[in-house]
Amino acid sequence: MTADAPRPDAPAPDSRRPETPGDRLFRRVGAPLIAGYIRALAATQRLRIEGMEHFDAAKASGRPIVFAFWHEDLFNIEIVNLRFGPKGRVAVMISRSRDGEMLTRVMERLGLVAVRGSSSRGAVGGLVELKHWLARPPDPHPHCAALALDGPRGPRRVGKPGAALLARRAGAVVVTLGFDPRPRITFKSWDRTRLPWPFGRFSARAAMLDTRDWGEDDMANLALMTAHLEPAEPAGGPGEDRAS
C-alpha cells in the first residue's frame, strides 16, 4: 500500500492541510527513499524475538491485537512487522503535526494504516477510529493497532492510559515489544529515536497480556503494559551511536 493508494477498508483519512511544493517533493521522493531504506534494514537484520510464542499465539487467537512499545522504537516495530506481522492489517496513530504528516507518508508506503491524533488534539477521535478498526472481522487474520505508549509527542517513556483504554474496550490481546538493536544510531529527538545499522543484531522481547483479565483502572492496566517494556538504559550505552 502507498500513500496514493490506501486500503479500501482503512479508517477514514484525516483531512490534510494544502500540499506545498516541499510536501510534494517529500511525497514523491523523500517518503519512498526512507521507506525503501527501512525495508532494506528489515531484510538485513539478524533478528531474534524472545517470546516469539506470545507473538504467534496472539496472531492465532482470532482476537484484535494491540502492539505496545515506546515511541523511540516506531521504526523498529515496523521492521518486526515487515518480517513477521499480519500484512496490511496494522493501524498506527500518528501526530497531526507537520512532522506527523511526513511520518504518515512513510508509514503508508510501508503498508501501515495511519490514524491521525495526538495526546492534546484529536486523541479521542483517533482512539474511536482505532476501536472501529479493531472491531473489523478477521480477513482471515485479526486487525491490529500499534500504539506508542508515550506518543505521539511525549514526554519520553511516560505512558498514557489511552492505549490501555482502547485495548480493554476492544477486547484485544496486548503484545508488548521492547527492542535492543546493536549497533544502532540514536537521534537527538524528544524520544531519542533508535534505528539499527544494516546487517546488525536485532533483538526484541515480546510478552502477551489478556485484557479479559483486566479491571477498569486503566492506569493500573497501563502499568502492566509498561512493566514488560525494557528499562531505560544509560545514555551513550554500549553499541550506541548518536546523531543530531
Dist. CA 38–CA 110, nearest whole Å:
8
96 found inside a domain: yes
pLDDT, mean of residues 172-193: 93
Q: What is the pLDDT of residue 2?
A: 37
235 found inside a domain: yes
- Give the number of domains in the chain: 1
Return the top range by mean pLDDT from 113-122, 139-148, 220-229, 234-243. 220-229
181 found inside a domain: yes
Q: What is the pLDDT of residue 1?
A: 36
Of residues 96 and 243, the one with the higher pLDDT is 96
| Integer CA distances (angstroms), 154 to 119, 130, 157, 159, 226, in order | 8, 20, 7, 8, 14
Q: What is the pLDDT of residue 173?
A: 96
Q: What is the pLDDT of residue 89?
A: 81
Q: What is the pLDDT of residue 154?
A: 81
For residue 125, what is the domain's CATH number? 3.40.1130
Dist. CA 101–CA 32, nearest whole Å:
14
**Confidence check: pLDDT of 241 > 80:** no
7 found inside a domain: no
Range with the poorest average pLDDT among 135-139, 199-203, 204-208: 135-139
14 found inside a domain: no
36 found inside a domain: yes
> pTM here?
0.82
Summarize the chain as % helix, strand, coil (round to 5): 40, 25, 35
- What confidence tens digit (pLDDT) does each residue in 145-169 have? 999 999 777 899 999 999 999 999 9
4 found inside a domain: no
pLDDT class for 5, splitting at 50, 70, 90? very low
Q: For residue 239, what are the domain limits? A: 21-243
**Confidence check: pLDDT of 120 > 60:** no
In sequence order, what are the beta bridge partners of 46? 201
10 found inside a domain: no
